């Protein structure tokens, strides 16, 4: 890949916020019950040539607060995605370089390896 473009600070900040929010959403979702609505648990039959049995415990469903928080996080992900994708900076690049620049932006927060 060629040299890294000089990304505007607001675009870098929006991308960093998008990374943080995606991580927060993933971490929060891991704490939630496996179904949004209350559902009974289940256990599958043992499969031939396998000792593994898939199962799920009963799910109480999401509380109102959990559903609202997940909705808030998803709305913020959508908003930040829109900020990043529609930033005026993308219009300043030459045709054919936008995809590469977008990929570089996704990794702009990572430390640069010195050779």
15: CB partners within 8 A, 6+ apart: 7, 84, 105, 106, 108, 109
Report how far residue 99's alpha carbon sits from residue 20's, in angstroms, rounded to the nearest whole number. 22
Measure the CA angle with vertex 65, ends 63 and 66; round to 5°: 65
Is residue 112 predicted with pLDDT exceeding 80?
no
What residue segments make up the domains of the chain, in order of their start?
Answer: 9-37+59-106
| Pairing mode of beta strands 42-43, 55-56 | antiparallel
Per residue in 82-91, pLDDT (tens digit) is: 999 999 999 9
Spatial contact of 56 and 41, defined as CB atoms under 8 Å apart = yes
Residue 110 pLDDT level (bands cut at 50, 70, 90): confident
pTM: 0.81
Specify the pLDDT at position 2: 47
């Amino acid at each position: 890949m060629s040299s890294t473009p000089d990304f505007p600070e607001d675009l870098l900040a929006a991308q960093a916020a998008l990374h943080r929010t995606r991580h927060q959403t993933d971490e929060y979702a891991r704490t939630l019950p496996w179904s949004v609505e209350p559902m009974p648990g289940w256990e599958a039959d043992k499969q031939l040539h396998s000792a593994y049995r898939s199962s799920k415990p009963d799910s109480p469903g999401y509380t109102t607060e959990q559903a609202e928080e997940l909705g808030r996080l998803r709305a913020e992900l959508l908003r930040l995605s829109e900020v990043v994708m529609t930033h005026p900076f993308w219009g300043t690049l030459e045709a054919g370089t936008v995809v590469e620049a977008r990929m570089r932006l996704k990794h702009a927060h990572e430390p640069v390896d010195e050779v």
